[in-house]
Structure 1
Amino acid sequence: VRGIAERQLAEVDRIVRDCFEARDDIQPVTRGELQALMRDGLVTLIDVRPPDEFALGHVPGAVNVPLGEVKAWSQGADPGREIVAYCRGPWCVMSFEAVAALRSLGHSVRRLEDGMPEWKAAGLPVEMAA
């Protein structure tokens, strides 16, 4: 039984790795890099989680753009300004989908390598909706 479980776990690990790595052909942004970019005013940070999650806590300076609204939001975005998207973490597909949608519209966009749970766990500042 253990051997079967180990083979299955290895197969699942390979599938997950292949799925996520294939989606991310540009190096993601680290937390430290994002902090520097935000401090220097060089990026627009979007949180693509639903509004209720955003209200419970988000990276300071982030704009809430739920995944379903990304394309509409992008029409007013500065095409010369880099965008960084984040969501629930490295295994959440929302930031990958937002990056793909924005790139297809010609925007320069990357994703945060992790998400809000990791941001909070690192003890970094969190802003709450008013």
Structure 2
Amino acid sequence: MVLDIIQYKNSLYDELAHFSKGLASNKRLEILDLLLQASKSVDSISRDTGNSVANTSRHLQVLKESHLVASSRNGNQIIYSLASDNVVSLVRTLMKVGERESSEMKYIQKEADNDQYVKTISLEKVRQEIDNIFLLDVRPKDEYIANHILGAINIPLNELIDNINIIPKNKKIIVYCRGRLCANSNFAVKKLNQYGLNAYSLNSSVHDWQEIAHNSDS
């Protein structure tokens, strides 16, 4: 009986370890963050991560074997997404724990904000000023279409300078991307302020916004 209990316990922990293998890579964590924004093809993930298609495919296979992502076919393309709402919660929780508990992550983030052209703003402050701001989403169009903050205008980061003339000069500009792990909002804010605009980096994600809105309404 004791042996059966030990075998049972070990078998379950083995499976849990296999499940967690998908998290044991910075590139796989980045892929999970991307899929938190929207479902994507291998080519899209490869482009967004700067990784080769071959390496991206290998990472996706590990994630699939770990039951963290699922795939479906859309014509000739294989589309990947997070496997379930539980995985969505897991990824978000992992990011929150890292940001709150890792002093090294806090230091890296503080250094990223330490630039004369980078101004930051909190979620709570933005919600208070929502009627008097220009809310700018600098993620790729597919992520904006999948989910965005109500009222936000989408100008992907790689199109920002070409479209700078449509950004109002008489409003406070609030820029957001995928959250604190994404440097794009700070980069966009720096560029906008160098052009003489009044831009602030939100450094929070759509999910952060929706979570605080839900908690405020409860």
TM-score (structure 1 length as normaliser): 0.73
* Partners of 1:123 and 1:16 in 2: CA distance: 25
After superposition, residues 87-106 of structure 1 pair within 5 angstroms as: 87-106=177-196
* TM superposition shift of 1:18: 5.1
* TM superposition shift of 1:85: 0.1
CA contact (8 A) 2:113 2:186 kept: no
Q: Which amino acid is the alignment partner of residue 127 of structure 2?
A: Q
CA contact (8 A) 1:23 1:96 kept: no
* Partners of 1:87 and 1:18 in 2: CA distance: 17
* TM superposition shift of 1:55: 0.8
- Whether 1:21 and 2:113 are equivalent positions in the alignment is yes
After superposition, residues 35-46 of structure 1 pair within 5 angstroms as: 35-38=127-130, 41-46=131-136
Q: Which has the larger radius of gyration?
A: 2
* TM superposition shift of 1:28: 1.9
Could you tell me which runs of 5 or more consecutive residues in structure 2 were left unpaired when the two chains were aligned.
1-101
Kindly tell me: are residues 23 and 116 of structure 1, through their superposed partners in 2, closer, same or farther at Cα, counting changes over 3 Å?
farther
Could you tell me which runs of 5 or more consecutive residues in structure 1 were left unpaired when the two chains were aligned.
1-9, 126-130
* Partners of 2:127 and 2:106 in 1: CA distance: 32
After superposition, residues 81-92 of structure 1 pair within 5 angstroms as: 81-92=171-182
More helix by share: 2
Q: Which residue of 2 aligns with 1:34?
A: 126
* Partners of 1:59 and 1:17 in 2: CA distance: 23
C-alpha RMSD of matched pairs (Å)? 2.5
- Structure number with greater CO (CA < 8 Å, separation at least 6) is 1
Percent of pairs identical after alignment? 24
